[in-house]
């Protein structure tokens, strides 16, 4: 009986010692991990500031070398992502995660993400193609993918447009590189086109000469090539007159709206009728009797 009691006491002492060791080990590990986590947080905050500083220095260096603004925007965006990846790998190393297992996991995740985000990689490739062939640059007014606006920046995955009403639109580079892009800034001159409706029975020659006088009186409209006025179509409710004239790209909208206003006022003064949609109904003798 005494032997059993002594044996039981020894087991209890061994268990107490082992539990104390476990508690001490867990406490030590928690403190060690907490310290590492605190260091990682500090490194992340400092690292992000350094990345921002390096990006600013890189941008200034490229500006001093007079590189294209589109290239600068693309490269700074790319460098920012690469440096952020390096920072995250550094943090993982400090936390004590095995590099080989982390890289294997990263490779597996990369393959899965590559399949899931094939469109994203297409956007990246599209950004590279845009920088190589330069269908547009920062500051150009473009129309593409059913959107239009002034190019604010060309990033690695998308192009940022600012619309006329100050909206910001992000257009994926993949679609831009594979579809039609209309660049309104490539040429100094633009052709402006109007279609004016006059009533049937109106003196067409008078209307045509009046339109030519209006165009020739505006010094923003180019004399070469000369303004063009012609009868476009005989529509059900009106005679459609086509007008074409050339002006500087910067004057396009001002000329367009000013000429619209002049045509309306001068046609009204000269009695040239501009009809609205209407229908003429002829009554037969039978319908009158009824």
Secondary structure (DSSP) of 8-68? HHHHHHHHHHHHHHHHHHHHHHHHHHHHHHHHHHHHHHHHHHHHHHHHHHHHHHHHHTT--
CATH of the domain at 243: 3.30.70.100
* Of 171, 172, 82, nearest in space to 122 by CA: 172
CATH of the domain at 177: 2.30.30.60
**14 part of a folded domain:** no
Residue at a domain's end among 183, 200, 221? 183
What pLDDT was estimated at residue 73?
74
What pLDDT was estimated at residue 32?
73
The CA distance from 222 to 216, in Å, is 9
Query: 130 and 61 in contact (C-beta within 8 Å)?
Result: no
* Of 129, 146, 128, nearest in space to 182 by CA: 146
**1 part of a folded domain:** no
Tokens, residue 19: 């539990």
Secondary structure (DSSP) of 197-234? EE-TTS-HHHHHHHHHHHHHT-TTB-SSSPPEEEEEEE
Say yes or no: 102 and 159 in one domain.
no
Residue at a domain's end among 81, 96, 116? 116
Query: 278 and 237 in contact (C-beta within 8 Å)?
Result: yes
Summarised one tens digit per residue, pLDDT across range 100-143 is 655 666 666 655 555 555 567 788 788 888 877 888 988 999 99
Say yes or no: 43 and 101 in one domain.
yes
3-state helix, strand, coil in the chain (%, to 5): 60, 20, 25
- Coil, strand or helix at 146: coil
- Segment 57-82 shows an average pLDDT of 76
- Segment 12-24 shows an average pLDDT of 60
What pLDDT was estimated at residue 3?
47
What pLDDT was estimated at residue 254?
95
Least confident of 39-53, 91-105, 149-163, 180-194: 91-105
Q: How confident is the model at residue 63 (pLDDT cuts 50, 70, 90)?
A: confident
**3 part of a folded domain:** no
Q: How confident is the model at residue 286 (pLDDT cuts 50, 70, 90)?
A: low
The CA distance from 54 to 80, in Å, is 9
Q: Which domain holds residue 207?
A: 189-270
Summarised one tens digit per residue, pLDDT across range 219-256 is 999 999 999 999 999 998 899 999 999 999 999 999 99
Residues composing the chain = 290
Say yes or no: 166 and 219 in one domain.
no
Residue at a domain's end among 116, 143, 173? 116
Residues 6+ apart with CB under 8 A from 102: 89, 92
SS (H, E, C) 162-203: ECCCCCEEEEEHHHHHHCCCEECCCCCEEEEEEEEEECCCCC
| DSSP at 250 | G
Domain count, the chain: 3
Say yes or no: 172 and 134 in one domain.
yes
The CA distance from 120 to 108, in Å, is 18
């Amino acid at each position: 009986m005494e032997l059993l009691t002594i044996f039981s006491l020894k087991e209890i002492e061994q268990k107490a010692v082992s539990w104390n060791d476990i508690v001490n080990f867990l406490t030590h590990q928690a403190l060690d991990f907490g310290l590492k986590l605190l260091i990682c947080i500090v490194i992340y905050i400092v690292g992000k500031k350094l990345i921002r500083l390096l990006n600013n220095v890189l941008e200034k260096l490229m500006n001093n070398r007079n590189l294209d603004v589109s290239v600068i925007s693309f490269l700074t965006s790319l460098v920012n992502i690469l440096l952020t990846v390096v920072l995250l790998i550094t943090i993982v190393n400090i936390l004590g995660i095995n590099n080989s297992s982390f890289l294997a996991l990263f490779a597996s995740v990369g393959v899965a993400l590559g399949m899931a985000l094939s469109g994203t990689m297409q956007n990246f490739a599209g950004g590279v193609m845009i920088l190589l062939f330069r269908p547009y640059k920062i500051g150009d007014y473009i129309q593409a993918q059913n959107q239009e606006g002034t190019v604010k920046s060309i990033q690695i995955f998308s192009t940022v447009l600012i619309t006329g009403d100050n909206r910001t639109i992000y257009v994926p580079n993949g679609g831009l590189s594979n579809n039609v892009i209309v660049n309104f800034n490539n040429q100094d001159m633009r052709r402006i086109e109007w279609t004016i409706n006059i009533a049937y029975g109106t003196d067409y020659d008078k209307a045509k000469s009046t339109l030519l006088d209006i165009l020739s009186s505006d010094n923003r409209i180019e004399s070469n090539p000369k303004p063009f006025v012609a009868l476009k179509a005989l529509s059900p409710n009106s005679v459609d007159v086509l007008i074409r004239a050339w002006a500087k790209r910067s004057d396009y909208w001002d000329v367009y709206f000013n000429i619209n206003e002049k045509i309306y006022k001068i046609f009204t003064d000269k009695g040239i009728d501009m009809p609205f949609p209407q229908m003429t109904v002829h009554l037969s003798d039978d319908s009158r009797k009824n």
